[in-house]
A and B are shown apart, each in its own frame.
Chain A
Amino acid sequence: MLGFVILFLVSLVIFGVTELLPGDTATFMLGQRATPDLVTALRKQMGLDRPASVRYIEWITNILQGDWGESLLLKTAIWPLLQQRFENTLVLTFLTILLGTPLGIGLGLLAGLNQGRWLDQTIIVFTTFIISIPSFIIAIFMVILFSAYLQWLPASSMIASDASLGDRVSRLILPILTLLSGMLAHLTRHTRSSLLTVLQADYLRTARGKGLAEGLVIFHHALPNALLPTITVVALNIGWLIGGAVLVETVFAYPGLGQLMVQALSSRDIPLLQAISLLTAASFTLANLAADLLYIVLNPRIRYS
């Protein structure tokens, strides 16, 4: 329920930011040719002279009925465009999550179980570096290393419609590797610190005290509790990947939602901008909501009424 309230407020913010700040669609469309008369005429023609509240209600009811409006730049309906780009971004997101979740948890456990030893130290130093480098910079490093220097993989992820499967896969590797490294670092850190917290718990001392084998203590008592918080991290990563992959998609020219947003920005395509912002914010909110629900389902100690 709270999720819907948030989404409603989010739509208000998007509309407010794009409509109420200086410069509206009509002015942007006319660009250099904008004279006060022309702007007024175009505003009237586009219905922009009506009060903002009326236009907001129209915008949101249309979207709820599946009509996302028309792009100013491409002069086509927004939804088919959005749908295709969203699918592309989702492909990247889910492949990254699919590969990153077991790897991140595995590395985190490895570090946590070897706390203080060289393996743990190496993993910590490594993840600190990865976390400190913005994803689009990692993308640049990847291209320089794998495309320019080693010449193993293509630098661009623009996929031709008649591309072979092998070509498609090879063009996905670098963007996924880039997104994976960031996600992996965060997840490893969280799994490690969550495991370390659990390892200090009294019930583990009890389990050891009653003579259980160490393997049983770790896998049966420690892990289920340690892994609970990581669900939230994975879900947060879904949101981050959908919305935050803008820069990585730009580096690789990958035809996803982020790249579309950059195009919409540079051409001041406000309806398209509003639509993309709403879609990413909605996915972000839904991912967080899903994390909360999953957490409740898997954690018998929490039962919200």
Chain B
Amino acid sequence: MLLLIRQPLALLGLFIVIGYFLLALGGPMLAPYSPTDQHFADTLQAPSTRYWFGTDQFGRDVFSRVIVGSQTIIVVATFATALSLFIGSLIGILAGYLGGWWDEALMRATDVMLAFPALILAMLIITMLGSDLVYLIITIAVVFSPGIARVIRSEVLSIKAMTYIKAAQALGCSPNHIILRHILPNSLGVILVEGSIYFGYAIFAAAGLGFLGLGVQPPSPDWGLQVNDGRNFLLTAPWVALFPALAISSLVVGVNLLAMGLSQVFGEHFVQ
């Protein structure tokens, strides 16, 4: 954490991310209007002192919808990242530590998953499951865990070759003990870095699926869905799409700056 403070860009990223988390936490309390209230006298109004970000085709306040919409994307991205880190680490550690047949089977399974463009696989799964917040989280986690598993596995392989693991094995420690007390703590840095990178991807995925109408259902505010709503008015009322689009971009910029900082702290090359 101390090292992070010495990097101004990473610190800026941290502030942006914390800012959006606070926004999501405050939600409706911070919004000047209800995100679903329709003001039919004020449809497609340009930004003004009354409606800071203007209004959409139903006269709903874009500013309030951007604020409340942060809840959806933050919740989905956070839980999806946590779940994919859990699944990915589990697969990566099992494959890396157990080796042999386990490694072969698990890695071929990730090969198959990675043979799909991520978005196509996510679209396929979510269509079959149905649009729901929980299914959205599960879908994103399933799509991203193979990539995480790969990285964790290679980290585990390099840790496994260390002398202290050999020593622990020679002392007769059980595999459970070695995995939980030696391998896992030493992989935490990589897991954290992967988590910060995939948090950005999860926001991409949540926004993209929302944009395609596969996320939360209207009239709940959702940034991706808002951008799609605004797509029909890009030439006449660009603010409907512009502000949620800026929100998505700035959040991911923040996440990526933070991820770059973290990967430098943990000595990883940040390659995307």
User: Which of B123, B234, B260 interacts with A155 by CB under 8 Å?
Assistant: B234
Asked whether B123 lies within 8 Å of A140 as measured between CB atoms, the reply is no
Q: Which residue of chain A lies nearest to B125 when distances are taken between CB atoms in the complex?
A: A17
Q: Min CB distance, B101 to chain A, in Å?
A: 17
Please, how many residues of chain A have a CB less than 8 angstroms from a CB on the other chain?
54
**Residue A268 CB within 8 A of the other chain:** yes
Q: Min CB distance, A174 to chain B, in Å?
A: 11
CB-CB under 8 A for A280 and B117, given A13-B112, A148-B238: yes
**Residue A285 CB within 8 A of the other chain:** yes
Residues of B within 8 A of A266 (CB): 213
**Residue A18 CB within 8 A of the other chain:** yes
Asked whether A251 lies within 8 Å of B120 as measured between CB atoms, the reply is no
**Residue A262 CB within 8 A of the other chain:** yes
Q: How far is the CA of A130 from the CA of B272 in the complex (A)?
A: 12
Q: Which residue of chain B lies nearest to A279 when distances are taken between CB atoms in the complex?
A: B120
Q: Which of A187-236 contact B (CB under 8 A)?
A: 189-190, 193
**Residue B159 CB within 8 A of the other chain:** no
CB-CB under 8 A for A137 and B129, given A144-B234, A266-B213: no
Asked whether B227 lies within 8 Å of A186 as measured between CB atoms, the reply is no
- Secondary structure class of chain A's binding surface, majority of residues: helix
**Residue B82 CB within 8 A of the other chain:** no
Please, how many residues of chain B have a CB less than 8 angstroms from a CB on the other chain?
47
Asked whether A273 lies within 8 Å of B124 as measured between CB atoms, the reply is yes
**Stretch from A57-65, A93-101, A238-246, A297-305 contacting the other chain:** A238-246
**Residue B119 CB within 8 A of the other chain:** yes
**Residue A129 CB within 8 A of the other chain:** yes
Q: How far is the CA of A22 from the CA of B185 in the complex (A)?
A: 40
**Residue A78 CB within 8 A of the other chain:** no
Residues of B within 8 A of A22 (CB): 128-130
Q: How far is the CA of A76 from the CA of B125 in the complex (A)?
A: 25
Q: Which residue of chain A lies nearest to B213 when distances are taken between CB atoms in the complex?
A: A266
Mark each residue of chain B from 154 to 194: 1 if its CB lies under 8 Å from any CB of chain A, else 0. Answer: 00000000000000000000000000000000000000000
Asked whether B123 lies within 8 Å of A6 as measured between CB atoms, the reply is no
Asked whether A281 lies within 8 Å of B115 as measured between CB atoms, the reply is yes
6 additional contacts, CB 8 Å, given A136-B211, A140-B230, A155-B235?
A10-B112, A132-B249, A134-B207, A148-B238, A149-B238, A193-B269
Residues of A within 8 A of B (CB): 2, 6-7, 9-10, 13-14, 17-18, 21-23, 128-129, 131-134, 136-137, 140-141, 143-144, 147-149, 155, 186, 189-190, 193, 239-240, 242-244, 246-247, 250-251, 261-262, 265-266, 268, 273, 276-277, 280-281, 284-285, 288
Q: Can you list 5 A-B pairs, Cβ within 8 angstroms, ordered by A?
A: A128-B256, A147-B235, A148-B234, A186-B272, A265-B123
Chain A to chain B: the 6 pairs with minimum beta-carbon distance, closest first: A243-B117, A21-B128, A132-B253, A132-B252, A9-B112, A133-B249
Residues of B within 8 A of A (CB): 108, 111-113, 115-121, 123-125, 127-130, 200, 204, 207-208, 211-214, 227, 230-231, 234-236, 238, 241-242, 245, 248-249, 252-253, 255-257, 260, 269, 271-272
